[in-house]
Amino acid sequence: MYIFDYKNKYFKDPFPLWIRIALLVCACSYVFEGLLRWLLSLIGMGFLIYIRDPLVIIMIMRPVLRFLTGCKVNANGILLWIYFGFLFFYSVFTESIIQVLFAVKILLLFILGVAYSRDFTECAIHWRRVFYIVSFLIFVGLVVDSTLGFPWRNMVINVGGHEKAIGKTAQVLGERMRHHGFSLAPNPAASYSIIFYLLYSCSYAKWSFAKLLLLIMTFIAIWLTGIRSILLALIIISLCDIFRFLPYVWEKIIVCATTIFVALGVGLPFILSFGSVSYSGYIKNLLNSPFASFAIRIMDTWPHAFASNKSYLLGGGLGAVGGSQIMFDPWSHLGGGFCDNWAVYAFLIGGVIPIILFSVVLVQAARVKCTESYLIPTLSVFIAIYGSMETGFELPGSSFFLGILLGYVCMRSMQSKR
């Protein structure tokens, strides 16, 4: 009767074959998006790249149907979906419906991560070969891009009815050129590189030659993208892993590192932005240093983002910032409605509540014992570091794993050993 219930014989495996295929198709469409868009455009079928969206929706509907057909769920999960529903309906009153729906589309991977948090972390260990191969391909793509280049470097694509040029990111105040390999931009290339390295390395408790080789390739790959926040995350995670053979020490380092960067990620934009007038001279001096992009955030990006905020308690709703705003409210976006920090993004969408929620989630995820999972605490460090300097929510890879962390912390048994 309950064909969507885990107890049914057809659902003993939390990831049936069709789910595995759908996940693989979606992962490839994001990791190798530049390559796939170019190949599909050659045959006039560029629209096929968007098959990933209905696939993600179908995968999200599976646990929803299990709930509707009587499957027992964690009470925290119900509260989480109630909050998502409230945020959606609140957003409809603050933004146009098309803008809100596009924002939901952007966050589909985040919702998928929440829906499959426990299932994914339990099954990921069986896919380690896939993770290694994908990591190697990302590395190859970035190396080739840095030497020979790719034909899709200056390709123009249609996104939501708008023409958008893809290629190498413009240099910031004389920075070296950033490469993107098979991806559309440097940020996705760097984030996917470190994510697949983490997925592989966290499936082993000890170091090995294969893992060391992958670490070196990942370091080179991220260096070629020029994304400093992810490079910093990789260095700190590698230093933490030196103490992997001492679980107690490793866990303490992970918790401390995550807590520090969560505090910085939340505090820096608010403290530095509102006080930037007092020490504007010091900030301007950074414009001629490797921290130029950070200075621009303090002087321009974050203050303008706060100025566009509609409510300190509830924020502006889905679509109030980011890609959805670029598409449907470009003038507001040019006026400052943008951000480069997860806390600012969460604040502009939902006010103070999501900042508190995700801060608690990241710190709690870092406290998960290595006997339960290596992946969850390690991902918390990565997202805390990366999110202090980048949005995170709108990048499919980091968005998916942020959802994984949220779902894992909210759904795990209260009796689990900490």
**Three state DSSP letters for 100-166:** HHHHHHHCHHHHHHHHCHHHHHHHHHHHHHHHHHHHHHHHHHHHHHHHCCCCCCCCEEEECCEEEEC
pLDDT tens digits for 313-340? 888 888 888 878 777 776 666 555 567 8
Tell me the mean pLDDT in the region 156-185.
Answer: 65
Task: Calculate the average pLDDT of the chain.
Answer: 81
Work out the burial of residue 294: count CB atoms within 10 Å of its CB; fewer than 13 is exposed, 13-18 middle, 19 or more buried: buried
pLDDT at 167: 56
What are the tokens at 65?
């149907």
Between residues 24 and 73, which one has the greater pLDDT?
A: 24
pLDDT tens digits for 3-13? 233 333 433 44
pLDDT tens digits for 116-157? 888 888 777 788 888 999 999 999 999 998 888 787 776 776
pLDDT > 90: percent of the chain: 29
pLDDT bucket at 356, cuts 50 / 70 / 90: very high
The SS3 assignment for 412 reads coil
Residue type, 204: Y
pLDDT bucket at 158, cuts 50 / 70 / 90: low
